[in-house]
């Protein structure tokens, strides 16, 4: 009887990369770029898995691993933001760093990896920044106070389809901060606009509509984010494709809130 041979399984190609990574011990200390070799990297790994491999090697050598944030690794939590070759979340459009695969790079590439750089996002360690300024903007107005009880039937409150689609598009913002990191002014307009817009077009969001926008914009300024000067870099790197139209809605609502003379937007125009 002829011996059956298994078909040879081709070894997956491996990549060799050179990484230049920002290392910074803590908020107070000065940081610097450190170069690492990343060998045996599969093109099918995600960018964060590639960093995991580098970290395993650092730990094996008794060195401090590179600190970076991640949680879902599915593009939904917003925690994994890093600058990759000067672009927030890297070279692939509408893709978070955790969903970016190493096949987007070439064998032998040099890759520069840095944290978000913005005054409102101080560096905690290496690639990890403090994005609690975003939480405080949400706390300032990103809620509704109407008692809504349990979840109503889907069609109990009629919402026109274009409004529902617009609200859904705005609600896709994952609060990653890429828009701030890429903006030359470190403006948080796209993030704030998305949070304002997703409630502004729904019936449930109407009672506080103008108070909300005034409070959130005021908080954005308190947190030392820059102003929007229409560069559009924010939307270009947003992993959820939040469009600049959201900023248009924010500006219109903010003007209405201010024209009515309510500094905290407490009255509905």
Contact positions with ligand SF4 (CB under 6 A) in 157-186? 173-179
DSSP H or E segment with residue 84: strand 83-84
Return the number of the residue (91 or 207) whose C-beta is nearest ligand FES: 91
Partner from ligand SF4, ligand FES, none contacting 240, C-beta within 5 to 8 A by type: ligand SF4
Question: Whole-number minimum distance, CB 74 to ligand FES, in Å?
Answer: 6
Partner from ligand SF4, ligand FES, none contacting 194, C-beta within 5 to 8 A by type: ligand SF4
Kindly give, in sequence order, each residue whose CB lies less than 8 Å from that of residue 21, ignoring residues fewer than 6 positions away: 33, 34, 35, 36, 66, 113, 126, 127
x/- contact string, 196-235, with ligand SF4 (CB under 6 A)? ----------------------------------------
Size of the site for ligand SF4 (CB under 6 A): 14
Question: Whole-number minimum distance, CB 228 to ligand SF4, in Å?
Answer: 12
Return the number of the residue (177 or 205) whose C-beta is nearest ligand SF4: 177
Could you say whether residue 181 binds ligand FES (CB under 6 A)? no
Q: How far is CA 79 from CA 42, 66, 155, 191, in A?
A: 23, 15, 34, 14
Partner from ligand SF4, ligand FES, none contacting 72, C-beta within 5 to 8 A by type: ligand FES
Kindly give, in sequence order, each residue whose CB lies less than 8 Å from that of residue 254, ignoring residues fewer than 6 positions away: 213, 214, 217
> What is the β-pairing status of strands 110-114 and 15-23?
parallel
Q: Is 171 helix (H, G, I), strand (E, B) or coil?
A: helix
User: CA-CA distance, 17 to 41, in Å (whole number)?
Assistant: 8
Task: Give the pair of three-digit tokens for residue 233.
Answer: 């870099």
Partner from ligand SF4, ligand FES, none contacting 70, C-beta within 5 to 8 A by type: ligand FES
Partner from ligand SF4, ligand FES, none contacting 225, C-beta within 5 to 8 A by type: none
> What is the β-pairing status of strands 15-23 and 32-41?
antiparallel
Return the number of the residue (19 or 98) whose C-beta is nearest ligand FES: 98
Helices (H), the chain: 47-60, 132-141, 161-171, 178-182, 189-200, 209-222, 233-237, 245-259
User: CA-CA distance, 63 to 265, in Å (whole number)?
Assistant: 52
Return the number of the residue (75 or 141) whose C-beta is nearest ligand FES: 75
Contact positions with ligand FES (CB under 6 A) in 60-79? 70-73, 75-79
What residue ranges bind ligand FES (CB under 6 A)?
70-73, 75-80, 96, 98
């Amino acid at each position: 009887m002829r011996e059956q041979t298994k078909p040879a399984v081709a070894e997956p190609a491996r990549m060799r990369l050179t990484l230049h990574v920002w290392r910074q011990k803590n908020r107070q200390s000065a940081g610097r770029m450190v170069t690492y070799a990343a060998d045996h990297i599969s093109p099918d790994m995600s960018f964060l898995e590639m960093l995991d491999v580098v970290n395993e090697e650092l730990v094996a050598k008794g060195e401090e691993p590179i600190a970076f944030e991640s949680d879902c690794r599915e593009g939904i939590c917003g925690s994994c933001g890093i600058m990759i070759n000067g672009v927030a979340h890297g070279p692939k459009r509408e893709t978070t760093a955790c969903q970016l695969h190493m096949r987007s790079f070439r064998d032998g590439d040099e890759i520069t990896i840095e944290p978000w750089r913005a005054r409102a996002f101080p560096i905690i360690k290496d690639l990890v920044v403090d994005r609690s300024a975003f939480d405080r903007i949400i706390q300032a107005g990103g809620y509704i106070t109407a008692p809504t009880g349990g979840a109503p039937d889907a069609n109990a409150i009629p919402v026109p389809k274009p409004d529902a689609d617009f609200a859904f598009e705005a609600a896709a913002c994952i609060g990653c901060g890429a828009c701030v990191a890429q903006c030359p002014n470190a403006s948080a307009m796209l993030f704030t606009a998305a949070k304002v817009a997703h409630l502004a077009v729904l019936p449930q969001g109407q009672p506080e509509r103008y108070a909300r926008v005034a409070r959130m914009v005021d908080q954005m300024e308190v947190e030392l984010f820059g102003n929007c000067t229409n560069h559009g870099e924010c939307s270009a790197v947003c992993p959820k494709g939040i469009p600049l139209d959201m900023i248009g809605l924010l500006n219109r609502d903010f003007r209405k809130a201010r024209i009515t003379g309510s500094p905290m937007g407490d009255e509905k125009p």
